Amino acid sequence: MPIYRYNRMSETRPQLNPCIIDTTLREGAQAPGVRFGEEESTKIAHALVSLGIDMVECGHPLISDAEARRVRATVAACGAVPVLAHARARFEDIDSVKATGAQWVGIFVGVNSISRNCRIRFEQPVYEVVSKAVGHAKNIGLRVRFTVEDGSRTPWSELVEGYRAALEAGADRLCFADTVGLLCPWEVEELIGRLSREFAGCDLEAHFHNDRGMAIANALSAVRAGARWISSSVNGIGERCGIVDTLTLLANLDALKWRRLRNGHALPHVSKLVQAYSRLMLDRLRPIAGMNAFTHVAKLHQRAVLGDERAYAWTVPETIGRVNSTDPEVLPSARERLINHPEVMSTAELPPRQREPGDRYVMLDDRVVPDARQYCTVRRIPEMDDHGEGHVDAHRHCVDSVFLFIGHGPDLSGLTVEVRLGAETFVVESPSSVFIPSGLLHSYRVLAGAGLFINHGQAGDYDSSLLDPAIFENDLGDAATESRITGDPGELFSLHIRDNKREPII
Catalytic residue among 209, 269, 301, 387: 301
As averages over each run of 10 residues, the pLDDT of the chain (506 residues) reads: 51 80 98 96 97 98 98 98 97 98 96 70 81 98 97 95 97 98 98 98 97 98 97 98 98 96 96 97 96 95 92 94 93 96 80 74 95 96 86 92 97 97 97 97 95 96 82 42 31 27 30
For strands 360-364 and 343-344, give the pairing.
Answer: antiparallel
pTM, entire model: 0.89
pLDDT at 386 (0 to 100):
85
pLDDT at 112 (0 to 100):
80
Using an 8 Å Cβ cutoff, are 62 and 93 in contact?
yes
341 is catalytic: no
How far apart, in whole angstroms, are the C-alpha atoms of residue 174 and residue 228? 10
Q: For residue 204, which of 222, 186, 184, 185 has the smallest C-alpha distance?
A: 222
Pick the CATH number of 349-464 from 3.40.640.10, 2.60.120.10, 3.40.50.300, 2.30.130.10: 2.60.120.10
Using an 8 Å Cβ cutoff, are 283 and 245 in contact?
no
494: Cβ contacts below 8 Å, ≥ 6 apart? none
pLDDT at 488 (0 to 100):
30
For strands 203-208 and 432-436, give the pairing.
Answer: unpaired
How far apart, in whole angstroms, are the C-alpha atoms of residue 19 and residue 231? 9
pLDDT at 118 (0 to 100):
66
How far apart, in whole angstroms, are the C-alpha atoms of residue 151 and residue 239? 17
Using an 8 Å Cβ cutoff, are 220 and 206 in contact?
no
Q: Where are the alpha helices (DSSP H) in 284-395?
A: 299-307
How far apart, in whole angstroms, are the C-alpha atoms of residue 226 and residue 202? 11
pLDDT at 489 (0 to 100):
28
pLDDT at 450 (0 to 100):
96
DSSP calls for 420-481: EETTEEEEEESSEEEEE-TT--EEEEEEEE-EEEEEEESSSSHHHHB--GGGGSS-TTSHHH
Domain ranges of the chain: 19-278, 349-464
Q: For residue 502, which of 323, 309, 370, 328 has the smallest C-alpha distance?
A: 323
CATH architecture for segment(s) 19-278: Alpha-Beta Barrel (3.20)
Using an 8 Å Cβ cutoff, are 270 and 47 in contact?
yes
